[in-house]
Amino acid sequence: MEIKFGLISADSHAAFARDDFTSRMSTKKWGDKIPQVVEFKKDGEVQDGWSLYGQKPGAPRGFQPTVCNCPALMGEPFPHWPKRWEDVPKMAYEPAERLKALDIDGVDAEVLFPNPPGGNYYQFKDAEYEFDTLVAYNDILADWTRVSDRFLPLISVPYLSPPDVIAREIERSVKNGHCGVNLAGKMPKGLPHIGDPYWYPVWDVCEQLGIPIHFHGSASIGVGDTAKVWKGYSTRQQHSASTSTSAVTPAQIVPQLIFTGVTERFPNLKVVFAEAGIGGLNYLISTCDHEWETHHLWTEGLTTRPSDIVHRQMYVNFWFEAEGIKLRHDIGIDNIMWESDFPHVAAYYPNSWESVERVLDGVPADERRKLLYENALRVYQIKATVAA
C-alpha cells in the first residue's frame, strides 16, 4: 500500500450490491431466505429494503427498512437516505467507485465494518443459514481486496457454529484478505459469556494470526435501552440518543475481558473499539485499576495491572472528539486511531481533513502521524510505503 494522503480510517462501512448474496448463495437451498432487496410499503409509499430469512423490512425480527445507510453520499437536503435501489450511489457498494470517494476525501485506506444487510444473522436461530450467509458476506468483502489493498475488511463470525468452525472461517477469511474480526459485545442468547473458555479457540486463532477483534458502536449490548426508547423522539432525535450512549461500550466490555482472565491468557490479542470515542477510557482505566488494587486480584491469578493491559493491547478511535485528544498521553499515543464512519451520517466526507485539522490543532507532527495512519499500519500489519 502507498500512503499518499497520510490518513487511514479505522472505521468505515462497506455497502452491498443487490445481487451480492443472491449470486453467491444456493437458491435451491435457501430460496427467498437469501438476503435480497425487496419492495415494501411505509406510510403508503413504496420503498426498497433488505429482506432477511424471507422477512420483509420492518417485519417482526426483520431488518431495518433502509436499502443503504449512506447519507454522506446523498447530497442535500442533509441528512437523507435512499428509498429506492436506483437512488443508492455506486460509491457506497462498488469498490472501484469507492476508491474515487477515498481520493476525494484524501483517505489512503479504510477498515470496513458492516452496512445493510448487516453482519450478524444469528437472530433466526438457524446455524446453517447463519454460516452460509456469513461465508457469502466474507467472500463479498474479500472481492473488495482484490480490487485494491486500500480496503481492509473485517470478518463476521457464525456464532451458532462451534468455536473450531469459527476459527477455521477466520483463518480462511484472513487468507482471502481480511484484517480483523468484528464481534458483538454480548454473545447471542444461549451461548456462553464472552469470557468463558468456550471462546478460547477464537481468541487463540486471532492472537496467532495477529489480527485484532473489534467492538463497534454499542456492539449489540443495547446500553441505555430504557433511556433511548421514547415515543416522543423524532427519527433523528432517536438516532442521536441511541448513538451517544456508545461512549460507554468499552466500559461494558474491557472489564469482562480483563477480570475473566482472557487478556492474561492471550496477552497479544489486540482489541479495538470503534465509534465509541476515546474520552471515557481514562475513567475506565482508573476504575479497573482501583478494583484490581482494592480486591487484591493479583492473588487470584490476575497478575497484570489493568492499565498495563489496556496500554498493551487495546485501541480506541476518534474523529470529532477534540477534548479526548487532550488526554491522548494518558490513554497512550500508540493506542489511538482516526476513523471516518463513512458513509454514515456522522462522517465529514468529503471534508474529513477539515475535521482532522480542527481536532489535532497543536498536536506535534510525529504524534499526528501515529494517530492518523502509523498506528493503523501497525495494528493491521500493513506493509506500506510513504509517498514523498
Summarised one tens digit per residue, pLDDT across range 199-248 is 999 999 999 999 999 998 555 566 555 566 777 777 767 766 666 666 67
pLDDT at 280 over 90: no
Please say if the pLDDT value at position 95 is more than 70: yes
User: What superfamily in CATH does domain 2-29+84-386 come from?
Assistant: Metal-dependent hydrolases (3.20.20.140)
328 C-beta neighbours (distance < 10 Å), count: 19
Give the whole-angstrom CA distance, residue 76 versus residue 6: 29
- Ordered by start, the domain boundaries in the chain are 2-29+84-386
Residues 280, 323: Cα–Cα separation, whole Å = 11
Of residues 116 and 43, the one with the higher pLDDT is 116
Q: Which of 56-60, 121-125, 223-227 ranks highest by mean pLDDT?
A: 121-125
Single out the residue of 163, 141, 172, 167 nearest to residue 154, CA to CA: 141
- Residue 61 pLDDT greater than 60, yes or no: no
CB 221 within 8 A of CB 185: yes
Q: Check residue 281 and give its pLDDT.
A: 85
Contacts of 248 (CB under 8 A, 6+ apart): 223, 224, 276, 280
- How large a percentage of the chain has pLDDT more than 70? 92
- What Å distances lie between residue 315 and 125, 248, 275, CA to CA? 32, 15, 12
Burial 158-172 (b: 16+ CB within 10 A, else e): bbbbebeebbebbee
pLDDT tier, 321 (very low <50, low <70, confident <90, very high otherwise): confident
Query: What is the overall mean pLDDT for the chain?
Result: 92
The pTM of the full predicted model, rounded to 2 decimals, is: 0.93
* pLDDT recorded at residue 62: 55
pLDDT at res. 242: 65
Using pLDDT thresholds of 50, 70 and 90, give the confidence band for residue 313: very high
Lowest mean pLDDT among 55-69, 85-99, 182-196, 265-279: 55-69
Can you tell me whether residue 48 is helix, strand or coil? strand
The radius of gyration of the chain from alpha carbons, rounded to an integer in Å, stands at 20
**Which pLDDT does position 232 carry in this prediction?**
77
Copy the grid coordinates of residue 148. Answer: 485494491
Work out the pLDDT band at 7, boundaries 50, 70, 90: very high
Q: What is the pLDDT of residue 370?
A: 98
Per-residue pLDDT band at 59 (split at 50, 70, 90) = low
Among 63-77, 139-153, 323-337, which is the least confidently predicted range? 63-77
- DSSP character string of 177-228: T--EEEE-SSPPTTSPPTTSGGGHHHHHHHHHHTPPEEEETTTT--TTHHHH
DSSP 322-363: HHHHTTHHHH-TTSEEE---TTSTT--TT-HHHHHHHHTTT-
| Rounded Cα distance, 258 and 260, in Å | 6
Indicate whether 364 pLDDT > 80.
Answer: yes
Residue the block writes with cell 436506483: 86
Please state the rounded mean pLDDT for residues 46-52.
94
249-259 and 306-313 are packed helices; what angle lies between their axes, rounded to 10 degrees?
110
Amino acid 247: pLDDT: 65
